[in-house]
Chains A and B, each alone.
Chain A
Amino acid sequence: MEFVGIGTWLAAFLTLAALSFLYKDNPFFRFAESLFAGVSLGYYVGIVLNQTLVPNLFEPLAKDFKTNWDLLVPGLLGLMLYVRSVPRIGWISRYALGIYVVYYIGVDFTRRIHGEVMPQIARTIRPLQAFDGPTLVSLIFIIGVFSVLIYFFFSKEQNAVTRPIARLGTWFLMVSFGAAFGFTVMGRVALLIGRLNFLIQDWIYPTIGR
């Protein structure tokens, strides 16, 4: 008989405690939920400290201060974020928050334009010179993209011309959402299979000696 360690029993207990919510809300589920929230935050502390702050901030400063002296600034900006919770000087954190938020928005801007808008528009602009299967597919594609964009155009009220196009756009969207629903079923089921597989293969079978 395979030895099932205390870790497996603990994991199995917590799995069952979380699943017990399906019957009804109960203290075991509440316990599991609170523990999960706490451990997740503790996990963040661990990874941020070990994987980012130590190798990218503390060690460069300690080992080669002359080269990396400027890293003191992001370190201080990081700490400055926490000044938010001090009522009278909370506004100081705006500097750190502004730099943090707007930098990532700037990065996002380049990604959106360069990586999303331009390649997707380039894909949509297709030659329609031949009367064959691929051209038909391209045509459906173009109509789809165009009508969906019309549907999303909220700046101006829809009129007699745009309303039917927008309606067609919603049909394309519905096909996509229906397909997404089918895929979502698959994803959610996969998670459940993973958990039950753990309970059966890693906990129950070794425990009963199968």
Chain B
Amino acid sequence: MQAFFRFLLALDRRWIFLLVLLSVTIPIVVPIGLPVTTTSSTRNAFEFVEALKPGDLVWLSIDYGPSSAPENDPMAEAFLRQCLLKKVRVIVTALYPLGGLGLANAVVAKITAEYPEAKYGVDYINLGYKDGAAAVMRTLGQDITLSFPTDVNGRPVSEFPIMQGLRTIRQLDLVFTAATGLIGEWWITQVHSQFGTPVIIGPTAVSAPKYYAFINSGQLVGMLGGMKGAAEYEKLLAAKHESLGRFYRGTHAFTATKGMDGQTVLHGVILALIVLGNLAFFMTRGKKAGAA
């Protein structure tokens, strides 16, 4: 037994890498379809959006880059699907410099293709990226066109019906930020605190623990924590809307729900590694001390 644990501790870490690779690859090739349970923070977010009425206006901010797209893309996509389905109008922006704009363009192109009846400039608009996120957020409380005089393609926003009569972010019913870092937090601590617009956040799992403090303090309507949160949201959407249920069950594209299989397997593997590592550590430590 001793020899086995010593062998384990001396193992080349590339064997662990191989194990990780296999435990994520196999569920992609052979999907398991494990169940997803929902948590209150995701349900609160979902119910809030469900309660919006046709014609209401919301803000979707893509505040993440490719470094966290597998977590954040499914959230932004699910939210945009829900809004377009419910005929809630959406303003899309990107405030994350390293790749936010490309993902905003991709998400908008992908989801609006699924809803051809939604018209650009009437039902949704993409205002693109802007530098200086904190300054941008300040202007939103005064006049949105101070920071976003044009849409993503450089056309003046005054040309679009969706922007008619809209002046500040206070007039919006919700801000949904899919975020990887601080910018998501600023929507809560700056925009919500100063202008009162309700905020839902879809953070990466890494930053999710912090947002429980903001949920507790009532500064956040709800949260989709990482890929799990996105999978919960997909489940809630599929259960509520028949067309989305069919979509999520039938699609070949990547969804957070599909990703949860690999998540579960690798969580099991990492827990086993922690237990094995500790066993090996304690079993060999005593002997070494004794020998010395």
Contact = CB atoms under 8 A, between A and B. Distances in A.
Interface in A163-202: 176, 179-180, 183-197, 200-201
A192 B20 contact: yes
Chain B interface residue bracket vs A: 35 or more
Interface in B204-238: 204-206, 208-209, 213-214, 216-219, 225-228
Contacts of A40: 98
A175 B258 CA distance: 30
A52 B152 CA distance: 10
Interface stretch (B45-53, B166-174, B186-194, B279-287): B186-194
Contact of A180 (B14, B209, B213): B209
Contacts, number: 154
A133 B104 CA distance: 44
B3 to A, nearest CB: 28
Given A56-B147, A187-B71, A22 B254 contact: no
Contacts of B189: 111-112, 114-116
A51 interface: yes
A88 interface: no
Q: For the complex of A and B, list the 10 residue pairs with the smallest distance between their C-beta atoms, beginning with the closest.
A: A194-B70, A115-B189, A187-B205, A115-B193, A123-B217, A186-B205, A190-B227, A187-B206, A51-B129, A183-B205
18 contacts: A43-B98, A51-B101, A51-B128, A56-B130, A56-B147, A115-B188, A115-B190, A141-B216, A183-B206, A185-B267, A186-B227, A186-B263, A187-B71, A187-B205, A190-B205, A190-B259, A193-B262, A197-B28
Interface of B: 14, 17, 20-21, 24-25, 28-29, 67-71, 97-99, 101, 128-132, 134-135, 138, 147, 149-150, 152, 154, 186, 188-190, 192-194, 204-206, 208-209, 213-214, 216-219, 225-228, 252, 254, 258-259, 262-263, 266-267, 270
